[in-house]
Amino acid sequence: MLALEENPNIQSKQSSSTIEFCSRKLSVCFLLFFAVIFVLFQIGLWVFPFSSASSLSWAFFQQSGGKVFNDTTQGQSCGVRHDEYYSEKLLAKLRESVTFLPLKDLRFEKTAMDGHTWFISSLNDTIEAEGEPEFLRFPSEASKGRLLCVKGRSPNNGGMNSYALAWRDALPPGSTLLTGLTFVSDAYYDYGNLWHGITAALPFAWWRLRRGCVVPSRWVLYRSGELRLQMGKWMEKLMEAAFDGSVAVDSLDGADDRPVCFEEALVHRHTGGNMGLEERKAVFEMLRCRARAFCNVGVAKDGDSPPPPLRPESVTLTMLLRNGARAFKNESLVVGVFERACQAVKGCRFLVAHSDGLDFCDQVRILSSTDIVASPHGAQLTNMIFMDRGSSVMEFFPRGWLELAGVGQYVHHWLAKWSGMVHRGAWRDHHGDECPHGPGARGCFDFYKATKIGHNETYFAQWAMQVLNQAKLRKKDGAAIAGDPSTECPCT
């Protein structure tokens, strides 16, 4: 009857005779109906008896929330041959019916990062409480107990890589099961850049902090569905610090084009997404503390005596400089201006560092003892997160950014807020080279991105004095709170 209702053509052809027959022989109809139900029920019992071999049927009833059956009949011999035969057949069918869909769903290209995003687009996220990051979890109630399986290793086409959901009893043929917990990250940008990397990793660090300090067995990284084989060095070190040792980024190799299924998977695909400010602050607090511990900040190097603690009212101003794109046109001049400003303030210590030559722990060490970082716009400024809470950030932009860079130019304002720093504003160069493609033309942003930054001596001197005095006042008030080395980091 259901089929008839769904198909009006068949219904219209047959309905008149059916109704006629039934109206005359209503009682016969009922009898027939119950007879059919009875037979179906018997077949059902015969195909799925209370079987010990049928973990599948047991799984089904578990998944559906039913508590009807229990495998208490373990060891009963009645019908076992049939059970095994049919459940094996069904499992085989289930295995073959696991359907792979593209990891990157181009139907959602225009709203790539909205809602369910274009990555694993058939499923919605689970958010347990407001402010917590959005995750997909496998297996879970939302996945109906199914595991996440992936296939393909394309590094440049997310539509060529695919995913499927499968019950553990019926994983797709030829698949490999990776045990333990896997962090699966899909980012809109990449894992090489410090800023993009850290925003992608933040939700996972949050998970560690808030969910019993778990450490994953492996990470699987995607960028818009494209497989990524590594994080940048800086990111990798930060994650090592956060997650107690080496970070295993799985390249899914050895799987060729065969599926890989994860015993347990935690997927984040929003590059931070809706994470609340308090949650972000808590994660950065953990990252700062663990990175300092990882790099032995404040601990004497072999044989040396520990560095003397700075006087509480002293202030360290660090210029964190770049080479190449967005370096200062006249670096020595700019450094001179800031150095003189520092000299004019009692208790000011002045440092100059070029981020290019520094390894991870050098950066952690320098920023840990910095109260004010002055640096051109760029990924190196992400190191601000290692300063004491309440420290200051001064940023410099080349020409063209205000007009062309969109919201991206405010990333370090956001980062300062998330990590508990104070962004003391940005200086923008208005006098750089003209874009050769004509104002507003395509390619002008890339042109400006690669240019160098000029200076305004008067402005820099006044600005530096102002920020130095603010920082000193703040420190005196005790508003800047150092990571207390006597307390242990979270998840130690």
Residues near ligand NAG (CB under 6 A): 67, 70, 72, 116, 123-124, 330, 332-333, 456, 458-459
Task: Report the length, in residues, of the chain.
Answer: 492
- Classify residue 96 as exposed, middle or buried by CB count within 10 Å of its CB (0-12, 13-18, 19+): exposed
Number of H helices, E strands in the chain: 14, 13
Rounded CA-CA distance 380/367 in Å is 11
Beta carbon nearer to ligand NAG, 458 or 486: 458
Ramachandran angles phi, psi of 58, nearest 5°: -60, -45
Give the residue from 485, 486, 487, 483 showing the smallest Cα distance to 284: 483
| Residue 373, helix vs strand vs coil | strand
Q: Which is nearer to ligand NAG, 107 or 211 (CB)?
A: 107
The closest alpha carbon to 173, from 254, 101, 257, belongs to 257
Please give the DSSP secondary-structure letter assigned to residue 149. E
Q: Whose Cβ is closer to ligand NAG: residue 333's or residue 479's?
A: 333
Rank residues 67 and 211 by Cβ distance to ligand NAG and give the closer one: 67
Nearest-approach distance from CB 334 to ligand NAG, in angstroms: 9
Please, what is the minimum distance in Å from the beta carbon of residue 476 to ligand NAG? Answer: 27
Query: Least distance to ligand NAG from the beta carbon of 67, Å?
Result: 5
- What is the Cα–Cα distance from 273 to 331, expressed in whole angstroms? 38
- Least distance in angstroms from the C-beta of 318 to ligand NAG: 21
Shortest distance in whole angstroms from residue 454 CB to ligand NAG:
9
Least separation, in Å, of the C-beta of 136 and ligand NAG? 11
Tokens read off for 272: 């931070």
C-beta of 24 vs 431, nearer to ligand NAG: 431
Whole-number Å distance between alpha carbons of 113 and 116: 8
- Nearest 10 degrees: CA dihedral of 406, 411, 412, 416? 130
Task: Verify cis geometry, omega within 30 degrees of 0, for the bond prior to 139.
Answer: yes
Q: Tell the smallest beta-carbon distance from residue 43 to ligand NAG (Å).
A: 25
Residue 104 is classified by DSSP as: B
Q: Give the nearer residue to ligand NAG in terms of CB position, either 9 or 72.
A: 72
Closest CB to ligand NAG among 9 and 458? 458
Paired sense of beta strands 372-376 and 315-321, if any: parallel
Neighbours of 440 (CB within 10 A): 11
> Whole-number minimum distance, CB 72 to ligand NAG, in Å?
5
- End-to-end, the C-alpha distance of the chain in Å comes to 64
Cβ distance to ligand NAG smaller for residue 121 or 363: 121
